[in-house]
Every structure is written in structure tokens, then in C-alpha cells.
Amino acid sequence: MQQKLKDLSELVMLQHSFFSMPFMFIALLTSAKGWFGWKLFIFGVIATISARNFAMAFNRYADRKFDSTNPRTQNRPSVDGRIAPNAILFFIFVNAVIFVCISYFINALCFYLSIPILAILASYSLFKRFSSLAHIVLGLSLGLAPIAGAIAASGEIPLWSIYLCIGVLFWVAGFDLLYALQDIEHDKKEGLHSIPSVFGVTKTLWLSRLFHLLTLVFWGLFIFEANLGLWMWIGLGISILALFFEQYLVSKNFHHIPRAFFTVNAYLGIALLGFCILDLMAGL
């Protein structure tokens, strides 16, 4: 049983929930102007993890053929036989049900949007088969987290949550472009429409930089529209340094891509959440 749980965790890379979860909590805190209660905290954690489990497991199931021909991914549990295809399908179904049920218990708007959100989360795996916009779809998938947080706390979608969503969208799309540089030759061989395989390395690097510049613009608009204070502006300054460092690491050597992708981005979300907490505490 312990080994099966370990394989499932590896399948969905559970630790990477830190990419989207901090932004869901930032939206909850901003909507509530402080602590939002244990109910939303617990429901938010379960909803975020189940949605991400659904998306990652769907991606692994749909991409088994492509992952088996990619040296970087051919040892994944979905490829090497550790987890059977039917078991992955069952895991996808269970997490979808959990997400919809949790959404129902939060509020009506969360429930009504739960199925469309799952459809968007699943679309990334299919999009890259015919469009280079797959990177944007992945960004939107994580960008929905702050909108979901705002809906959970207030039952509506304020303008600041849209700015935060778009910022997360470009942030994720920007670092996904860098990550996709590892698979240029494989994507060309398999006919997958990643931006690096279609437009090349140089254009991909510049587009990633543009996306991260837009990230900072929209995060600034979020801070302004939500009327947040000095600590969040400091957090934005830290974000500038972090994204610059990420771009520098990758441009210097592609061997730094895993470090830039997993370490820098995970800490960035957590840091912004910390600055949001400090900002709200300072305003009390």
C-alpha cells in the first residue's frame, strides 16, 4: 500500500501543488480581508489537491504514448507499468467527484463552475496535439485558482481576481515554455505543437520573458485594484528578482531548467502568500 501511494504521488507530482495553492489562499485572504475560517481552509486544500490530481492524472493517462518515447518521461508510473491504465482512470474519476462535491458544499457558484473548470483542466493534454496555445491553457488551468478562491469567499468574481488570474496564467505559461525546451526534438518527432518545437529556442526564450513581464504587470494591477499595501508591493519586487533569476539560470545553461522550474517557482508562490499575510496583518 505504501508503495502504491508513493507511485500515485509520483504520478501527479503532489508536491507541485505549491504552484497554484498559494494563489488560491491569496484570493481567499484578499476577499475576506483577513482570516477566512477553517471550513474554507480545509475545503480549499481538498479542492486544490483533487483538481490538480485530476488534471495531472488525466495528462499522464492521455500522454502515455508520447511519454513512452521520451527519454525524460519513460520512467513515469503511467508508462513503466507501476500503475495500470484502468487504475489511473479510476483515480481521475474519484478526484473529479471529490472536486465537484467539495464545490457543492462551498457555495452555488463554485458548484456550477466545477464541471467547466474540470473541462479546462483536462483540455491541456489534448490541446498540444493541434495548437501551440497549450502553454496558455496550462497557465489558465492554474490561473483559475485565485478566481476559485475569490468565489469561495465572496460568491462573486471581483476584477482584482481576474488580474491575479491573468498574472498567474502568464507566469505559468512563461515557465512552461522554459520547461518545454527540454523536449524540442521529441515534440518535433511526435508532431506535438509546443512553442519551442515550432518557433525555436531563441523566440521561445524571448516569448517567455515577455510572458513574465506581463505577469508582473498584472500582479501589479491586482495589488492596485485590491487596494493592498506596502508589503505586497515588496512582494512584487521580490517576484521581479525571482523571475529575472529564473530567466538568467535557463539562458545560461539549459541544465538549470529543473532548478528554475521546480525550486524558484514553488518558493515564489509561497513568498507572495507570506507577503499577503504580512500586508493584511499590517492593515489590522
pLDDT digits (tens, 9 = 90+) for 3-34: 666 766 667 676 566 678 999 999 999 999 99
Hey, what long-range contacts does 35-43 have (CB within 8 A, 24 or more apart)? 36/153, 40/106, 40/152, 40/153, 43/102, 43/105, 43/106, 43/152
Percent of the chain with pLDDT over 90: 64
**Checking phi first, is residue 37 left (phi over 0); if not, alpha (psi -120 to 50) or beta?**
left
Fold exhibited by the domain 2-282: Tetracycline Repressor; domain 2 (1.10.357)
Lowest mean per-residue pLDDT among 77-81, 119-123, 200-204: 77-81
For residue 187, pLDDT beyond 80: yes
Distance CA 150, CA 84 (A): 37
78 three-state secondary structure: coil
* pLDDT in the model for residue 24: 95
Distance CA 206, CA 25 (A): 31
Distance CA 100, CA 261 (A): 30
- Give yes or no for a contact between 121 and 54, defined as CB atoms under 8 angstroms apart: yes
For residue 262, pLDDT beyond 90: no
Lowest mean per-residue pLDDT among 114-118, 176-180, 214-218: 176-180
Alpha helices by DSSP H, listed for 84-183, are 85-106, 108-127, 134-154, 159-180
40-94 confidence digits (pLDDT tens): 999 999 999 999 999 999 999 998 888 888 888 888 888 888 889 999 999 999 9
Distance CA 23, CA 146 (A): 5
Distance CA 141, CA 119 (A): 10
Distance CA 278, CA 233 (A): 11
Element (H, E) at 250: helix 230-252
For residue 247, pLDDT beyond 60: yes
* pLDDT in the model for residue 18: 66
Task: Please report, for residues 60, 71, 88, 123, the alpha-carbon distance to residue 85 in angstroms, rounded to integers and kept in the order given.
Answer: 10, 20, 5, 19
